[in-house]
């Protein structure tokens, strides 16, 4: 009996079982054979923020009659963007997901005192060099830094000659989320995938202005391999042709380099660099990328960040133009930024993670623009428009007069924080 059990438990040595097994069918990534999508369940597949942003809910909102954001508009006016501005701003990523734009048929914005300051800077930039027009927007969470940047971009778009180089999320340049490689010809690390989206944005945002600018000399960019033909650009080609050209990913860094060089040479078009989430770029001297020795790559070694810092520091300057930076409360707070802008004097014993003197010195000459909280008059204007847009709850409107609502919301919003103001109206139980 024992022997029988022992024999039975021994694994057979023959391979006939595996040999006779039916051949496995290779499965692809396709979900079903018919090519039709089978929905098991109903409803949106998105998370809240994306669902709200992509649901086109603004189409259901009541129409508001508002003036458009133009040059020389009065302060303390609630405005909307023109069709052109809206198109360009959404293409460059100026509208952020958490700005409650879906509540209104068209994004609305308030012209503040700071808007007039930025407007003056933009006007000055049309005439003077970018070195003279460098500004960094600062302020607490939800105070309207990104909105002010969008307003600046809207004013820039109004000028058909202006060229805008928009970086909508600065953090994406340094967080290691893109592919990268060392371009020996340029001597820097290039991020081809990010560059693709950036060049697309530049193309969409500046179609008219780039088409007017012709190349100053001939350029040749190599093909993907030795057998592929190189792409040549003559003096007849415009900068729009350059940006639109389908260059191999590995040589895309050269396209940006040529674009910057050409923009530096020309005199007719004012060129603007706009960066949101700038604080995350300046928060550390090193990026999250690693080199072949597994050591962090410095932000000065990355092509894009180095180019940005060159213009921010004033080392390079467009003959006409400006640099507008906006920080974000999501960025890692460091002393480097504030010390660079001359707002604080760093303690000599500050840790290196919090303060980098070299990096701070690159910010010398950038003017800080601290955004103040909204005044009571500002809140009044906004609340009136919110009532018009029917975003208040019925019971709130029934129990209070508009004046009482203004007083309540002014206090609840922390004495005039725009984000808290709209949250107190739209996002409370």
First to last CA, the chain: 75
Q: Would you state the structure tokens that stand for residue 385, as one six-digit string?
A: 């428009």
Check residue 428 for interaction with other proteins (CB under 8 A): yes
What lies within 8 Å, CB to CB, of 131 at 6+ separation is: 314, 317, 365
CB closer to other proteins out of 72 and 428: 428
Check residue 60 for interaction with other proteins (CB under 8 A): yes
Which DSSP string do the residues of 25-39 spell out, in sequence order?
PPP-S-S-TT-PPPP
Which of these ranges, 20-28, 46-54, 272-280, 342-350, lies near other proteins under the rule CB under 8 A?
Answer: 46-54
The CB density around residue 313, as the number of other CB atoms within 10 Å, is: 20
Q: Which of residues 74-113 bind other proteins (CB under 8 A)?
A: 102-103
Which of these ranges, 45-53, 91-99, 221-229, 360-368, lies near other proteins under the rule CB under 8 A?
Answer: 45-53
Site string for other proteins, 15-44 (x = CB under 8 A): ------------------------x-xxxx
Check residue 395 for interaction with other proteins (CB under 8 A): yes
Q: Which of residues 336-375 bind other proteins (CB under 8 A)?
A: none
Burial bucket for residue 385 (CB in 10 Å: 0-12, 13-18, 19+): middle
**CB 428, min distance to other proteins, A:** 7
CB closer to other proteins out of 291 and 390: 390
What is the distance between the alpha carbons of residues 281 and 278, in angstroms, rounded to a whole number?
5
Residue from the set 7, 24, 47, 229 that interacts with other proteins by CB under 8 A: 47
Q: How many CA atoms lie within 13 A of 99 on its CB side?
A: 20
**CB 394, min distance to other proteins, A:** 4
Which of these ranges, 192-200, 249-257, 316-324, 387-395, lies near other proteins under the rule CB under 8 A?
Answer: 387-395
Burial bucket for residue 293 (CB in 10 Å: 0-12, 13-18, 19+): exposed
What is the distance between the alpha carbons of residues 225 and 240, in angstroms, rounded to a whole number?
25
The CB density around residue 253, as the number of other CB atoms within 10 Å, is: 24
Site string for other proteins, 228-267 (x = CB under 8 A): ----------------------------------------
Q: Summarize as ranges the residues that interact with other proteins (CB under 8 A).
A: 39, 41-48, 51-52, 55, 57, 60-62, 102-103, 390-391, 393-395, 399, 426-429
């Amino acid at each position: 009996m024992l022997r029988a059990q022992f024999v039975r438990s021994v694994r057979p040595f023959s391979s006939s079982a595996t040999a006779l097994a039916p051949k496995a069918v290779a499965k692809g990534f396709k979900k079903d054979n018919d090519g039709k999508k089978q929905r098991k369940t109903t409803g949106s597949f998105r998370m809240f923020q994306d669902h709200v942003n992509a649901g086109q809910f603004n189409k259901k909102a009541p129409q508001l009659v508002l003036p458009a954001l133009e040059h020389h508009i009065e302060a303390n006016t609630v405005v909307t963007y023109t069709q052109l501005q809206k198109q360009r701003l959404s293409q460059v990523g100026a509208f952020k997901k958490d700005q409650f734009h879906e509540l209104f048929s068209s994004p609305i914005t308030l012209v503040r005192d700071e808007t007039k300051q930025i407007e003056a800077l933009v006007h000055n930039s049309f005439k003077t060099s970018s070195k003279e027009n460098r500004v960094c927007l600062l302020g607490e969470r939800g105070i309207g830094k990104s909105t002010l940047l969008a307003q600046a971009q809207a004013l820039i778009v109004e000028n058909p000659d202006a060229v805008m180089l928009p970086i909508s999320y600065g953090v994406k340049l340094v967080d290691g989320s893109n592919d990268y490689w060392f371009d020996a010809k340029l001597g820097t690390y290039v991020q081809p995938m990010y560059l693709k989206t950036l060049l697309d944005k530049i193309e969409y945002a500046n179609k008219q202005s780039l088409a007017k600018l012709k190349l100053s000399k001939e350029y040749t960019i190599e093909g993907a391999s030795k057998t592929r033909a190189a792409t040549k650009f003559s003096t007849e080609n415009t900068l729009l042709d350059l940006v639109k050209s389908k260059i191999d990913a590995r040589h895309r860094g050269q396209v940006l380099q040529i674009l910057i060089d050409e923009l530096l040479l020309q005199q007719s078009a004012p060129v603007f660099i706009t960066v949101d989430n700038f604080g995350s770029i300046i928060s550390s001297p090193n990026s999250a990328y690693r080199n072949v020795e597994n050591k962090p790559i410095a932000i000065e070694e990355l092509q894009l960040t180095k180019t940005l810092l060159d213009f921010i520091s004033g080392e390079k300057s467009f003959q006409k133009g400006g640099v507008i930076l906006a920080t974000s409360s999501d960025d890692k707070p460091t002393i480097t930024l504030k010390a660079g802008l001359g707002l604080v004097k760093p303690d000599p014993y500050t840790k290196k993670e919090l303060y980098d003197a070299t990096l701070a010195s690159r910010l010398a000459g950038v003017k800080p623009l601290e955004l103040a909280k909204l005044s009571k008059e500002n809140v009044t204007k906004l609340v009136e428009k919110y009532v018009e847009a029917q975003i208040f709850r019925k019971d709130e409107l029934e129990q209070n007069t508009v004046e009482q609502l203004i007083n309540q919301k002014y206090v609840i919003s922390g004495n005039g924080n725009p984000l808290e103001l709209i949250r107190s109206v739209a996002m409370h139980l």
